[in-house]
Amino acid sequence: MYSPLEQFSVISLYSLQIGFIDVSLTNSAIYCLLTIGCVRVIWSTLFLDGGLVIPSRYQVVSEMLYEFVSGLVLEQLGSYEARKYVGIVFTTWLFIFTANLIGLIPFSFATTAQLVVAFGLSFSLFIGVTLIGVLKHGLSFLSFFLPGGAPIGLAPLLVVIELISYIFRPISLGVRLFANITAGHSLLAIIANFAWAMATNGLYAILSIIPIVVIVAIYGLELAVAFLQAYVFAVLLCIYLKDAIELH
């Protein structure tokens, strides 16, 4: 029985070194490109269908998803200016959701269960949100690290605490996505191995139906988690955007 963590192993498919930079092609990179390709094809098809007088079912579902994320952004940011950020939030949500769904296909690879992918998303968005706050408020952005009405004597301590809390935002964002996807896939692998061991044992072959039923139930739960983790990521991104825009 192999380790349930083997499914997360990054395998180099083509080794390439440019100076001190390793740009080898791995299974993780392939599935990231596959996710981007799926998103591209899906929405290119949607735009081609956009001219239909009577929208197709596919177009209706796609527009509902877009309206769902758009409503989320407007609700969280609460201003007309928020419309300019709908694109980045929706793209992030769609990429994570698609990657999560692809990772649930048997014998595929879960890219969002890789720390480098989860942290790459969270840190790049964190840097972008910080730049938005700095460009909008200038040096006044530093007031974000000192709560209003706080005593001046506690300012050094409060600034350090707020700064550490701010820096840990992308870490918690990435770890949340990575941990939940990894835990779900590992649990599925463990129960699947257990079911296979029972099925290949003549004495317990009939009882193997029990872990199989459990796998089906957990798989349904993982489908919900795939959506939920993308949703939570999008909500937290909106909250961070609101903090950068309004400085509170």
Characterize 63-90 residue by residue with b for buried, 16 or more Cβ atoms within 10 angstroms of its Cβ, and e for exposed: eeebeebbebbbebbeeeebeebbebbb
Taking only the tens of pLDDT, the chain with its 248 residues reads 467 777 778 887 777 777 777 777 888 888 889 999 888 887 776 655 555 566 667 777 777 888 888 888 888 887 767 778 888 898 899 999 999 999 888 888 889 988 889 999 999 999 999 998 888 888 887 777 777 666 777 777 888 888 888 889 899 889 999 998 988 888 888 888 877 777 777 666 676 687 788 888 888 888 999 999 999 999 999 888 888 888 76
Q: What is the pTM of this model?
A: 0.86
Strands 25-26 and 17-18: unpaired
Contact 124, 189 (CB under 8 A): no
Instruction: Please give the Cα distance from 5 to 241 (Å, whole number).
Output: 35
- For residue 246, the model assigns a pLDDT of 80
Name the residue with tokens 């649930």.
104
- For residue 107, the model assigns a pLDDT of 82
Instruction: Please give the Cα distance from 63 to 41 (Å, whole number).
Output: 15
- For residue 97, the model assigns a pLDDT of 92
- For residue 1, the model assigns a pLDDT of 46
What is residue 51's three-state secondary structure?
Answer: coil
- Retrieve residue 185's tokens: 């896939």
Please give the C-alpha separations between residue 79 and each of 86, 157, 247, in angstroms, as whole numbers.
12, 33, 14
Instruction: Please give the Cα distance from 1 to 208 (Å, whole number).
Output: 16
- Condensed to tens digits (0 to 9), the pLDDT of residues 147-180 reads 766 677 777 788 888 888 888 989 988 999 999 8
- For residue 100, the model assigns a pLDDT of 92
